[in-house]
Amino acid sequence: MSDKVLIAYGSKYGSTAEIAEAIGQVLREAGFDADVHSAETVQDLAPYRAVVLGSGVYAGMWRKEAAQFLEAHQAGLAERPVWLFSSGPSGEGDPVELLDGWRFPDAQKPIADRISPRDMAVFHGNIDRDKLNLAEKLIVKAVKGEFGDFRDWDAIRNWASDVAGALSS
């Protein structure tokens, strides 16, 4: 079996792409051939032994390209180990608690249930005020979000190490 692992992502402003790159780096350091690609550019899962898929979260929803990837590739995802991650909450504290227990978008839960991911993680995100339009700034205010980079790189790398460990065993 190939040691090739796909890390696909949906990212609007690049923060989730940077998380995907960090996951890819940890997997490479563990000896895996890790490809990191935006979800909309991936056509075929055949070369991959496993898939890590993540998305930035906006108003409780995944980015369109990540949700479409999950939908389009659900049969192939069900045939291999899959890990899912979301990035988005800002502020201090447990990211799931900050999202009132939210772990995954309701719209994609039936697909996630069918593919049985090994794990679903939620990571803190990065909300750069300078990149947002007025509507997005108002949404951040409405949900009492905080502006800034709250990504926990140790938590991300530790999770990626767990993925590598599971793939090695």
Query: Is 61 among the domain residues?
Result: yes
pLDDT tens per residue across all 169 residues of the chain: 578 999 999 999 999 999 999 999 999 999 999 999 999 999 999 999 999 999 999 888 999 999 999 999 999 999 999 999 999 888 888 888 888 888 899 999 999 999 999 999 999 999 999 999 999 899 888 877 889 999 999 999 999 999 999 999 8
Q: Report how many domains make up the chain.
A: 1
- The DSSP bridge partners found for residue 82 are 51
Query: Is 164 among the domain residues?
Result: no
What pLDDT is stored for residue 92 in this prediction? 86
Query: Is 96 among the domain residues?
Result: yes
Query: Is 129 among the domain residues?
Result: yes
Owning domain of residue 109: 4-159
Q: At 105, which CATH number?
A: 3.40.50.360
Query: Is 167 among the domain residues?
Result: no
DSSP per residue over 53-105, as a string? EEEEEETTEE-HHHHHHHHHTHHHHHTS-EEEEEE---SSS-HHHHTTT--S-
